[in-house]
């Protein structure tokens, strides 16, 4: 029989009947899949993000609306430091925070409720000790007996400790002053401190302001700073789709910063309130990437150790840092970005 | 387009595609080979990085100087590898990975010798009171961080290169499949085009020439297009036109000739009748006054006049065979053969017995009178040339085999003939024996050929001297044609 003939076979008639029943079933309102109604309120995602060049991927995710792709309403809370951003998140004032690994280590020791989603930046150039030559500082050894400003509990603090340690400058012989990054800038400029341990873009600002009077101690081999995106465990549990969107948004931001660094620099400059030229200059020493690696676990573990040794937190057993990592999100989005040694039972490498 | 041009274009196209396919496959293969080489290179580098980490741990545990020396050697090897990698063209993302690898390699190269120097120079503490174990611990931590980052970056680069290799392999395969498919498509479609063109043209030519060969000189073969076969069709049409004109001229000349021979034969009869009449009158009235010799002459004149009369009658009969209108109808040759044989047998002397064999003969379409004449001529011939045979056997039968026509024959075991004179057999007034030996005018077989020819059949003969002869003729089988 010709396939187009009207004398259909019994099989074809039965198929047509089933198709008709199926279509009728689908058109009955009760049988349809429940769609979200137009009145459903969009999920609000609050991100505590510091005005820091190291947080560039997160800043671009916010500014380019990469994080809003699933219809979420993203609210960015700018902070002067990542430490402050993390504190806001831990206090329940944000769902996510962008912060360096040093405040994360301290928060872990204090049983803070957080999960690391991904590291977004690594740098060996970001931190420096900026000193005034007119205060007699010519070499690292000259820091002995001087007044040095720093921001307690930040990567700047850890860098200062490491720098002094490897250069055999005992911290006990230094006058340490805990100040915010902006306060550090004005303190060094007005001479109330002899040196400060700070990061970009403050280093660049001070270098420009002090001119020939400035001396910058930077030792790239001794410390690698990591900037991470962390989230509250409840947020991860309740909004897995948003977590995925955030991670995908970070990769979009990485792609954007690689393809259009000038445009990215302008957006970051606007958020961090720094001149675009300084941001562009600072970009060159930065390594932006989205990943979770063994080096980060090692660094957080090592800094936990440092916090315990320095007495900044009460003595306790060293926690298993890996349990503070949310691997599943990144494994879903970009499996090869997870480079962590872990047991096979967890379904990982 | 000419078939030759079409074939040339197809061959050139196929050749170009083949060359293109070979070149692109070679390029893709080169691409794949480079990616594979880079992959193997990175696997080597990964192995070196791993071995260097083992040497680092060996030194940190034992503090033995040879371990550090080997660490330095391995580092130099890694440095050379990284330098070679910087000469490879990488994607922006992979270039970032390579920059990270170089940076981590550089920082490790600064830090680890510092640890070794620290161990060598100090034991217990320094003037500032800082325990060296704390410094070493901090430095080792950073060395480990750098080692992980170097290893991870190499792994990511390897992952990307491996993906690239797989991608290249898939592309190569796809390229091969696609080019084969396209090439096959081009060759098949052009072959199909030529095939269709050729078969259409050739069958038109075959049909056309068949029709022309049947004498329909007005038929023309379709000759649209400008290929070679269209040229050939046009040439055949031109030949058909020429043939038609020649045939027309020939037919006119033939008719004229026939009319002339008819009128000549007809006009000869009257004076011949006068001649015969007066000879008879002379014989009857004045034979007594003639001597023996004169009477003999008179008999010769009378006999010759009679013979001439027979010749003129035969010539007229032959002429009528050519000019007369054919009355086509269904003719049962079986029945006709029986009638003819019966008539001929009646005229035979009683002492002469012929053994007749009549096979199964078909019913054909033709002029009954003419076909009767064919059988009469052939059977009478057979009887005549079997005259000197003691037991003559004459067979009238048919053959099966040739499609579209019936083949019939009349066979005898008489005088036969020499096959070298076979061409003369069916000619007008042609005789292979003397009239004294076998009487006749030599018109019978010419008539047979003329009648069969007018029916669309053909005639031929086979024979052997003193062993008999067989005369064949065909008639169209209207049902099959």
Q: Tokens standing for A217?
A: 């101690």
Q: Specify the pTM.
A: 0.63
Q: For residue range B43-70, what is the model confidence (pLDDT) as tens digits?
A: 999 999 999 999 999 998 888 888 999 9
Judge whether B300 lies within some domain. no
Q: Tokens standing for B304?
A: 């010759």
Q: Domains in chain B: how many in total? A: 2
Inspect the interface and report whether the beta carbons of B107 and A220 lie closer than 8 Å: yes
Query: Could you report the predicted ipTM of this complex, rounded to two decimals?
Result: 0.79
The domain boundary residue, chosen from B153, B171, B194: B194
pLDDT level of residue A21 (50, 70, 90 thresholds): very low
- The answer on B333 and B185 residing in a single domain is no
Inspect the interface and report whether the beta carbons of B146 and A258 lie closer than 8 Å: no
Judge whether B215 lies within some domain. no
pLDDT of residue A9: 39
Q: For residue range A273-284, what is the model confidence (pLDDT) as tens digits?
A: 988 888 888 787
Judge whether B460 lies within some domain. yes
A147 and chain B: CB distance < 8 Å anywhere?
A: no
- CATH number where B349 lies: 3.30.565.10
Burial A277-313 (b: 16+ CB within 10 A, else e): ebbbbbbeebbbbbbbbbbbbbbbbbbbebbbeeeeb
CB distance A330 to A117 below 8 Å: yes
- CATH number where B156 lies: 1.20.1440.210
Q: Chain B interface, mutation test: which of A122, A155, A159, A295, most B Cβ atoms within 10 Å?
A: A295
- In chain A, pLDDT over 90 holds for what percent of residues? 71
Spatial separation of the C-alpha atoms in residues B114 and B125, rounded to whole Å? 16
The domain boundary residue, chosen from B175, B194, B213: B194
Judge whether B63 lies within some domain. yes
Inspect the interface and report whether the beta carbons of A221 and B107 lie closer than 8 Å: yes
Domain span holding position B383: 325-476
Kindly state the average pLDDT of the residues A312-327.
92
Judge whether B388 lies within some domain. yes
Residue B121: burial class (beta carbons within 10 Å; 0-12, 13-18, 19+): exposed
How far is CA B417 from each of CA A52, A307, B398, B420, rounded to the nearest angstrom? 127, 136, 22, 9
A167 and chain B: CB distance < 8 Å anywhere?
A: no
Q: For residue range A240-265, what is the model confidence (pLDDT) as tens digits?
A: 999 999 999 999 999 999 889 999 99
Tell me the shortest Cα–Cα distance from A186 to chain B, in angstroms: 31
Judge whether B223 lies within some domain. no
Spatial separation of the C-alpha atoms in residues B441 and B428, rounded to whole Å? 9
pLDDT higher than 50, residue A27: no
B98 and chain A: CB distance < 8 Å anywhere?
A: no
Judge whether B258 lies within some domain. no
Q: Tokens standing for A164?
A: 């002094």
Q: Chain A interface, mutation test: which of B130, B136, B151, most A Cβ atoms within 10 Å?
A: B130
Q: For residue range A96-142, what is the model confidence (pLDDT) as tens digits?
A: 999 999 999 999 999 999 999 999 999 988 899 999 999 999 999 99
Q: For residue range A170-218, what is the model confidence (pLDDT) as tens digits?
A: 888 899 999 999 999 999 999 999 999 999 889 989 999 999 999 999 9
Q: Tokens standing for A290?
A: 């989205």
Inspect the interface and report whether the beta carbons of A299 and B141 lie closer than 8 Å: yes
The domain boundary residue, chosen from B176, B194, B212: B194
Which residues, at least 6 apart from B450, have a Cβ–Cβ distance to it below 8 Å? B318, B321, B322
Which positions in chain A touch B153 (Cβ < 8 Å)?
A: none
Backbone dihedral angles phi then psi of residue B312, each to the nearest 5 degrees: -65, -40
Judge whether B362 lies within some domain. yes
| Across A83-92, A314-323, B250-259, B458-467, least confident range | B250-259
pLDDT of residue A237: 96
């Amino acid at each position: 029989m010709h396939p187009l003939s009207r004398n259909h076979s019994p099989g074809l008639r039965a198929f047509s009947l089933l198709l008709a029943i199926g279509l009728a079933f689908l058109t009955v309102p009760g049988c349809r899949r429940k769609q979200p109604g137009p009145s459903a309120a969009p999920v609000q995602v609050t991100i505590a993000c510091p005005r820091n060049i190291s947080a560039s991927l997160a800043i671009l995710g916010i500014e380019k609306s990469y994080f809003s792709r699933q219809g979420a309403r993203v609210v960015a809370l700018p902070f002067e430091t990542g430490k402050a951003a993390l504190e806001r998140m831990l206090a329940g004032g944000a769902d996510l925070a962008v912060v360096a690994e040093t405040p994360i280590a301290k928060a872990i020791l204090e049983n803070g409720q957080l999960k690391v989603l991904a590291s977004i930046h690594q740098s060996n150039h970001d931190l420096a000790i900026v000193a005034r030559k007119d205060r007699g500082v010519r070499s690292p050894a000259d820091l002995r007996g001087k007044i040095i400003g720093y921001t307690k509990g930040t990567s700047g603090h850890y860098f200062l400790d490491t720098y002094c340690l490897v250069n055999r400058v005992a911290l006990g012989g230094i006058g340490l002053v805990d100040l915010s990054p902006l306060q550090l800038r004005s303190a060094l400029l007005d001479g109330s401190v002899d040196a400060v341990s700070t990061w970009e873009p403050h280093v660049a600002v001070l270098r420009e302001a002090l001119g020939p009077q400035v001396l910058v101690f930077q030792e790239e081999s001794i410390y690698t700073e990591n900037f991470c995106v962390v989230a509250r465990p409840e947020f991860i549990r309740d909004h897995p789709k948003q977590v995925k969107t955030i991670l995908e948004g970070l990769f979009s931001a990485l792609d954007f910063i690689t393809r259009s660094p000038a445009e990215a620099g302008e957006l970051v400059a606007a958020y961090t309130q720094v001149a675009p030229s300084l941001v562009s200059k600072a970009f060159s020493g930065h390594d932006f990437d989205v990943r979770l690696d063994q080096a980060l676990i090692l660094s957080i573990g090592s800094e936990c150790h440092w916090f315990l040794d320095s007495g900044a937190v009460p003595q306790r057993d060293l926690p298993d840092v890996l349990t503070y990592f949310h691997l599943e999100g990144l494994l879903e989005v970009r499996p090869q970005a997870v480079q962590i040694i872990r047991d096979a039972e967890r379904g990982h490498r | 387009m000419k078939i030759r041009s079409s074939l040339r274009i197809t061959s050139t196209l196929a050749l170009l595609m083949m060359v293109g396919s070979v070149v692109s496959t070679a390029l893709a293969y080169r691409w794949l080979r480079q990616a594979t080489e880079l992959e193997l290179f990175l696997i080597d580098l990964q192995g070196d990085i791993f071995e260097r980490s083992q040497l680092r741990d060996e030194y940190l545990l034992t503090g033995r100087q040879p371990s550090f020396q080997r660490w330095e050697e391995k580092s130099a090897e890694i440095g050379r590898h990284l330098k070679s990698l910087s000469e490879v063209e990488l994607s922006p993302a992979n270039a970032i990975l390579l920059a990270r690898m170089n940076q981590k390699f550089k920082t490790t190269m600064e830090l680890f010798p510092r640890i070794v120097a620290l161990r060598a120079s100090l034991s217990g503490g320094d003037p500032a009171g800082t325990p060296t174990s704390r410094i070493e611990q901090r430095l080792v931590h950073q060395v480990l961080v750098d080692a992980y980052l170097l290893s991870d970056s190499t792994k990511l680069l390897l992952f990307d290169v491996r993906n690239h290799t797989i991608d290249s392999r898939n592309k190569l395969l796809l390229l091969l499949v696609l080019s084969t498919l396209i090439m096959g498509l081009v060759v098949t479609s052009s072959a199909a085009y030529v095939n269709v063109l050729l078969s259409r043209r050739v069958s038109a030519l075959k049909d056309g020439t068949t029709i022309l060969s049947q004498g329909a000189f007005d038929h023309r073969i379709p000759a649209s297009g400008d290929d070679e076969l269209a040229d050939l069709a046009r040439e055949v049409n031109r030949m058909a036109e020429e043939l038609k004109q020649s045939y027309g001229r020939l037919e006119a000349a033939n008719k004229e000739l026939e009319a002339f021979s008819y009128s000549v034969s007809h006009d000869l009869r009257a004076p011949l009748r006068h001649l015969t009449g007066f000879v008879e009158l002379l014989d009857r009235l004045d034979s007594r006054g003639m001597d023996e010799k004169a009477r003999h002459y008179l008999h010769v004149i009378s006999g010759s006049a009679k013979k001439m009369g027979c010749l003129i009658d035969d010539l007229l009969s032959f002429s009528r065979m050519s000019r007369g209108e054919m009355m086509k109808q269904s003719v049962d040759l079986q029945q006709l053969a029986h009638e003819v044989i019966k008539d001929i047998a009646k005229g035979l002397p009683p002492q002469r017995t012929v053994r007749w064999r009549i096979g199964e003969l078909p019913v054909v379409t033709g002029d009954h009178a003419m076909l009767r004449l064919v059988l009469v001529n052939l059977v009478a011939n057979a009887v005549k040339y079997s005259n000197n045979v003691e037991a003559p056997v004459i067979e009238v039968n048919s053959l099966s085999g040739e499609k579209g026509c019936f083949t019939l024959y009349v066979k005898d075991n008489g005088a036969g003939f020499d096959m070298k004179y076979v061409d003369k057999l069916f000619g007008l007034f042609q005789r292979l024996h003397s009239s004294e030996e076998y009487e006749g005018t030599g018109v019978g077989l010419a008539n047979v050929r003329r009648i069969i020819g007018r029916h669309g059949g053909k005639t031929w003969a086979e024979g052997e001297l003193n062993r008999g002869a067989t005369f064949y003729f065909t008639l169209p089988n209207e049902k099959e044609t």
